[in-house]
Amino acid sequence: MSSITSDRLISLDITQPLWDRFFMVAPLVIVGTKEADGNYDLAPKHMAMPFGWDNYFGFICTPSHGTYQNIVREKAFSVSFPQPNQILLTSLTATVRCENNQKPLLSILSTLATTQIDSVYLEDSYLYLECELDRIIDEFGDNSLIVGKIIAAQVKETALRRSDRDDQDILLDIPLLVYLPPGRYSIIDHSFSFPFHAKFHR
């Protein structure tokens, strides 16, 4: 197996999308929405993150997707953060819709009902969020930014940060599943304290 050790920089063609030319670390979440027929949809998203220090969460979606259309109609969505042992279940949520616009494989997934909105979670995830739609910003090319205000949140006790528990021990108990676009994943179970400057503040 050959290896490349050059530090030479390669200019990329910015007239084309860049994001499949290198790896980045991204979260991997499952967005839950209610369908027009009363059923529920689950869909994986990796372009997802908190928006600011207050309780807002957003992700990138496409107007042609059922997730986008459901959120426009229902004004709400759920977010599940799956654990590493749920990688195959997470993959199943990406199945394409059939002729009747349904994802039949979703019926084999265990879900939990949300508490404040009409949606579902992927059961046994380590973190759950319920969001009311705050805004949608369209026309990032073919994509849109969907941002919700978090109105309810639950976390597994073993994943909760506490003053009497070392952060590293939490990651050993509840490792994090991360996506490495364009097609790989990894598991984070070790971390190190960041060397903040003494006068640093957010």
| Total domain count, the chain | 1
Residue 197 lies in a domain: no
Structure tokens given for 147: 């941002």
* Cβ contacts of 46-53, under 8 Å, gap ≥ 24: 46/179, 46/181, 48/79, 51/147, 53/202
User: Pick the residue with more confidence: 3 or 85?
Assistant: 85
Q: Is residue 4 part of a domain?
A: no
- Confidence check: pLDDT of 105 > 90: no
Q: Measured between alpha carbons, how far apart are the two ends of the chain, in Å?
A: 45
Residue 106 maps to a domain: yes
- Does residue 80 lie within any of the structural domains? yes
What is the per-residue pLDDT across 30-61, written as a single tens digit (0 to 9) for each? 999 999 999 999 999 999 999 999 999 999 99
Q: What is the CATH number of the domain that holds 111?
A: 2.30.110.10
Residue 193 within a domain: no
The stretch 110-123 carries a mean pLDDT of: 96
Rounded to the nearest angstrom, the gap between the alpha carbon of residue 11 and the centroid of all alpha carbons in its chain is: 30
Residue 118: the pLDDT is 97
Boundaries of domain holding 116: 26-187
pLDDT at residue 3, as a whole number: 66
pTM: 0.91
Residue 196: predicted pLDDT:
86
Q: What's the chain's average pLDDT?
A: 92
169 in any annotated domain? yes
Between β-strands 40-45 and 29-34, what pairing exists: parallel, antiparallel or unpaired? antiparallel
| pLDDT class of 198 with cuts at 50, 70, 90 | confident
CA distances (Å), 16 to each of 13, 68, 140, in order? 6, 24, 14
Q: Is position 145 within any domain?
A: yes
pLDDT above 80 (res 197) = yes
DSSP state of 38: S
From the CB of residue 73, how many other CB atoms can be counted at a distance below 10 Å? 13
pLDDT > 80? residue 96: no
Dihedral sign for Cα atoms in the order 135, 33, 126, 151: positive
Residue 65 lies in a domain: yes
Mean pLDDT of 88-114: 81
Q: Which two tokens stand for residue 34?
A: 């209610």
